Amino acid sequence: MMDNLSLLVQVPVLNIQLLLDGIFVGSIFALAAYGLALVWGVMNVKNLAQGDFVIMGGYIAWWLSIDVNIWIGMPAFNFDFLWISALHISTTAIPFLEFMKPAIHPIFGLPVAVVVMFGFGWFIYITIISRVIGKDMFTSLLATFGLALVISQLLNLAFGPEVQVAESGFEVNSFFDGMVTVANIRFISLILAGLLAAMVITFMKFSRMGQAIRATAQDPRAAKVMGIDTERIYAFTFALNAAICGAAGALISMIWVIQPFFGIAHSIRSFVIVTAAGLGNLPGVIIAGLGLGVAELYSGFVFGAELQQFTVVGLLVAILVWRQIQQSRHRQPVQ
């Protein structure tokens, strides 16, 4: 551990590499966290499936970027588990139609992920979230935890537990005599993340729908009286959140790795960022997101990879404790 620390001091260029990489992944964390803050602020639902939405978006972009057989036909005559054999494309199956899906570059997979996740988010809202929305807060937490379990396991069944990367095929640039290497895709992803964030913020500020969402967040009853269909606003907000997650996932699949069970870590990252920044604090979310990315890479470098996950959860606990100390100063006995 001390070796790594002294290495950082002796070779300051390494800091640049860590900082840059931290900012690249951190921008995506901030994007997902913004979605969480949106849903949290508007409908008071804490979405523990946030990270799984991200991973799902990643898998959509990844799946589109590889050549795979699209297979339509009768599953194997294994009637006890028809659907299972359909997923693991069985050899004894009878194909009606079989063709190769063309590979789409993951950057073009991103809009597809956004659209698919938007629909998925709407579906999840109607089936699950709309039923837990008014109930106590633990209910939404637990229901989305169940959802997270279902999504990650389905992804695992469909794509297997291997770590995947969507190959974008861009060049890798080196600076400082090869001490710092940055793939072009990382710059592109940073720009895309910024663009997406700007789009969402503009949408929230200026469009009719964005105004309605903000009005509902302020006071759902008053919004209803003013003729806003709050139920539709909630559905749209949740779907928008899923779409943002889909975009974040597509970016993550290009510059980092995806794996079915990485979702919970992404959820916790989003919670860390939102808790640190506070609700409705957009600059805070961006700074906290970038900070978390940098902190995670630094700790991964200094303490070793096995403690990188710990940094995220450890930071969560630390921030919660710190918030508590901060709050207790405001807590005064009734005179």
Partner 1 sequence: MTFKQKQLALYGILAVAGIAAPFVFPAYTFQITVMWVMILFAVTWDIMGGQMGYNSLGNIFFFGAGMYTCAIVQIGLYYDVAQYTASYGAIKVDFTPEQYFTGLVLGIIAAALVCVVFAVILAHVVFGLRGPYFAIGTLGVTLSAGELTGAWEYVGGGGGIALPVFPGEPDDRALMFYFMGFGLAVATFLFVKWMFSGRFGLAANAIRDDEEKAEGMGIRTMRVKTTGFAVAAFFLGMSGAVFGNMIGFIEPLEVAFPSVTFGIFMVIMCLLGGKGTLWGPVIGATLFHAFKEVTWTYMLGWQWVMLGGLIIVLVVFFQQGVLGWMQEKWPELFGIEVDEGAIATALAGPEIDERPHRGEAAQ
Residues that bind partner 1 (CB under 8 A): 46, 81, 84, 128, 131-132, 135-143, 145-151, 153-154, 157, 264, 268, 271, 275, 303-304, 306-307, 309-310, 313-314, 316-317, 320-321, 324, 327-328
Nearby residues of 119 by Cβ (< 8 Å), 6 or more positions away:
239
Listed residue (202, 200, 234) closest to 217, CA to CA: 234
Which residue, 84 or 201, has its beta carbon nearer to partner 1? 84
Output the smallest distance, CB 181 to partner 1, in A: 28
Which residue, 106 or 291, has its beta carbon nearer to partner 1? 291
Output the smallest distance, CB 38 to partner 1, in A: 16
Output the smallest distance, CB 241 to partner 1, in A: 17
Which residue, 246 or 260, has its beta carbon nearer to partner 1? 260
Please name the residue ranges forming H helices in 160-281.
Answer: 184-206, 208-218, 220-225, 230-255, 263-277
Output the smallest distance, CB 214 to partner 1, in A: 23
CA angle 236, 238, 243 (to 5 degrees): 90
Listed residue (285, 256, 255, 272) closest to 312, CA to CA: 272
* 306 token code pair: 């096995």
Which residue, 16 or 157, has its beta carbon nearer to partner 1? 157
Cα separation, 73 vs 7, whole angstroms: 58
Q: How would you classify residue 304: left for phi > 0, otherwise alpha for psi between -120 and 50, otherwise beta?
A: left
3-class secondary structure, 133: coil
Output the smallest distance, CB 128 to partner 1, in A: 6
Output the smallest distance, CB 125 to partner 1, in A: 13
Output the smallest distance, CB 212 to partner 1, in A: 26
Are 32 and 245 contacting, i.e. CB atoms less than 8 angstroms apart?
yes
* 224 token code pair: 């209803």
Which residue, 167 or 231, has its beta carbon nearer to partner 1? 231
Which residue, 166 or 319, has its beta carbon nearer to partner 1? 319
HSE (CB half, 13 Å, CA atoms) of 50?
32
Which residue, 65 or 296, has its beta carbon nearer to partner 1? 296
Cα separation, 48 vs 87, whole angstroms: 26
